[in-house]
Amino acid sequence: MSDNLPDSRSRAGRGVVLVNGENFVPVYCANCGKPYGVVPESHITHVFVLCDQGCAGKFGDLAHTYADPDELFRRNATEAQLEKFGRLLTPEEVEKAIEDRDSVFAALMRDWDARRRATIK
């Protein structure tokens, strides 16, 4: 049995985008096939992707892989603001919301800090 993960790029090479003279290749979730952005063709030899909210959320993070805690925090904080308030909050409103230890924002901050500390080790 091979330990290699499947490549998340299209085999047909469709959907390549030229940006500033660089080819960017679309990538797809290896589990469900959902489009998941593009990667620079000349800088990669292999790509494996699980969509965050669906497949990675269902199956968990892959062992020995890296997830940027800042990116995860920003996305989760944005989703929480839109869900709770229907808009993005001002920086002052976010600070006030974080001060409430029982708020979803305080929980997101604690989660972000735990993930950040885990990547430092």
**Tens digits of residue pLDDT in 12-46:** 778 888 888 888 888 888 888 888 888 888 878 88
Same domain, yes or no, for 37 and 53?
A: yes
Structure tokens at 101: 């230890």
Same domain, yes or no, for 59 and 93?
A: no
Same domain, yes or no, for 103 and 47?
A: no
Same domain, yes or no, for 49 and 106?
A: no
The pLDDT of residue 121 is above 60? no
Whole-number Å distance between alpha carbons of 84 and 6: 37
The secondary structure of 10-41 as a DSSP string is: -SS-TT-EEETTEEEEEEE-TTT--EEEEEEG
Please state the length of the chain: 121
Same domain, yes or no, for 101 and 48?
A: no
Same domain, yes or no, for 54 and 77?
A: no
Structure tokens at 61: 């993070």
Counting the structural domains of the chain, the total is 2
CB distance 26 to 35 below 8 Å: yes
| CA 54 to chain CA mean position, Å | 11
Domain that includes residue 111, residue range: 69-120
Same domain, yes or no, for 74 and 113?
A: yes
Domain boundary among 63, 78, 95: 63
Same domain, yes or no, for 13 and 57?
A: yes
pLDDT attached to residue 1: 40
* Weakest-pLDDT range from 7-16, 58-67, 88-97, 106-115: 58-67
The pLDDT of residue 85 is above 60? yes
Same domain, yes or no, for 92 and 41?
A: no
pLDDT in tens, 73-82: 778 888 888 8
Same domain, yes or no, for 92 and 52?
A: no
